[in-house]
Amino acid sequence: MTIGVTNRDDVLNAVDSAMERYGASRDELIPILNYLNHALGYLPAEALEEVSRRMRVPKSQLFSVASFYRMFSTKPRGRHVVQFCESAPCHVVGGRQVWQALQEALNLKSGETSPDGKWSLVTTSCLGVCGVGPVILIDDDIYGNVAPDQLTDILARYA
């Protein structure tokens, strides 16, 4: 992921790629936003405005969608995004202890990015693998049955 993309050419190139891949149908809005969020590291206002113009979707609607789903961010994020599942099935099998340990290990609270731009920490709802809770997702890697004492080793895998 890229931190703090503000280069308009990068934004326009990413929007071009998203449109080539998914077209401009409103049915493809979520895949397009997902593509841009992944390609740019977040959804800058310039990207949302360009998508709004090309898809003829009101900006207010785009910003509503972008801010509703936790998988999207309208602010720059770190190179690695750690998502912690805060839903009940993970909570009852030790999620609270993992969450405390995760915040301490990263020295971050939910929604924060480390000063060096390496980590962002966010909470999320169910990640779809409730049977192996507590669950965290780092970038595209999912970890289940996470215990607090495993976090140092897990986080060390990311440069």
Token output for 10: 């990068």
Looking at beta carbons only, is 4 or 144 nearer to ligand FES?
144
Question: Which CB sits closer to ligand FES, 15 or 127?
Answer: 127
Smallest CA-to-CA distance from 112 within 64, 145, 76 is with 76
**At closest approach, how far in Å is the CB of 46 from ligand FES?**
33
Q: Quick one: 14 or 136, whose CB is closer to ligand FES?
A: 136
Q: How far is the CB of 22 from ligand FES (least distance, A)?
A: 27
Could you say whether residue 126 binds ligand FES (CB under 6 A)? yes
Q: How far is the CB of 148 from ligand FES (least distance, A)?
A: 16
DSSP of 82-148? EEEE-SHHHIIIIIHHHHHHHHHHHT--TT-B-TTSSEEEEEES--S-GGG-S-EEETTEEE-S--G
With CB under 6 A as the rule, give the number of residues binding ligand FES: 11
Contacts 24+ apart (CB under 8 A), 115-119: 117/3, 117/4, 117/78, 117/79, 118/78, 118/79, 118/80, 118/158, 119/78, 119/79, 119/80, 119/81, 119/82
What is the smallest separation between the CB atom of 137 and ligand FES, expressed in angstroms? Answer: 9
Q: How far is the CB of 34 from ligand FES (least distance, A)?
A: 19
Our CB check for ligand FES shows the closer of 4 and 94 to be 94
- Residue entry with tokens 């790629």: 17
Chain residues 127-146 in contact with ligand FES, contact rule CB under 6 A = 127-130, 133, 135
Q: Which residues in this chain contact ligand FES in the complex, by CB under 6 A?
A: 85, 87, 89-90, 126-130, 133, 135
